[in-house]
Amino acid sequence: DQQVKQNSPSLSVQEGRISILNCDYTNSMFDYFLWYKKYPAEGPTFLISISSIKDKNEDGRFTVFLNKSAKHLSLHIVPSQPGDSAVYFCAASASGQNFVFGPGTRLSVLP
Amino acid sequence: EPEVTQTPSHQVTQMGQEVILRCVPISNHLYFYWYRQILGQKVEFLVSFYNNEISEKSEIFDDQFSVERPDGSNFTLKIRSTKLEDSAMYFCASRTGTWGEKLFFGSGTQLSVL
């Protein structure tokens, strides 16, 4: 039972363009969402989060959008840089319980 | 920024052997977690630990697995009799417990069961 889905296993984007990574969830009790970036042989690194009371959160080049009615969130990276190439995980939790991770999307930013 | 520390970075063991993976969470954190990622697959929740007891565990976390906080700083994951399918990257994570606070992850232990 995949509570958190990332339907695109991979994404390629030109440097300087926008990267949009998508995430869908099924559990309506989720109230906190995070994006993590992961390089090979390293632990996930926190990028940005959003709570269910907001529909947008921005931090520098990273913006997360939340559409609660669609149970969908997306991460926008503008402009994309080669160093952004990594696997991106969407994660969700309900009332501070454990975080459920999606399967990840591998982003490749081409120079 | 404070870090979650995991040792060893790599562990190779024979099937049926016991392994202990070690983690030092961030010092003022109260909630501790183990996740794992089998090569090419998603990051999977194993167990969460709070107030010296397991608060939640997944179906993966069967009787072969146990966790312990033997002192004020270490948090360990023990696999009693390893199986080939236990080969994965194991991540420890911690957080303070404040709602809305992120998980801090360690860099992982790559476990290879031969």
A-interface mutation test, from B33, B42, B99, most A Cβ less than 10 A away:
B42
**Average pLDDT over every residue of B97-105:** 84
- Tens digit of each residue's pLDDT (9 = 90 or more) over A10-60: 999 999 999 999 999 999 999 999 999 999 888 999 999 999 999 999 999
- Angstrom distance (rounded) from CA B43 to CA A65: 22
Q: Which of A1-5, A74-78, B30-34 has the highest mean pLDDT?
A: A74-78
Nearest to B94 by CA among A83, A99, A16: A99
Distance from CA of B108 to the nearest CA of A (A): 6
Distance from CA of B114 to the nearest CA of A (A): 20
Which parts of B1-114 are beta strand (E)? 5-7, 10-13, 19-24, 31-37, 43-50, 53-57, 65-68, 75-79, 88-95, 104-105, 109-113
**Average pLDDT over every residue of B101-109:** 92
Name the residue facing B102 among A42, A43, A46 (closest C-beta): A46
Q: What letter does residue A84 receive in the DSSP assignment? A: G
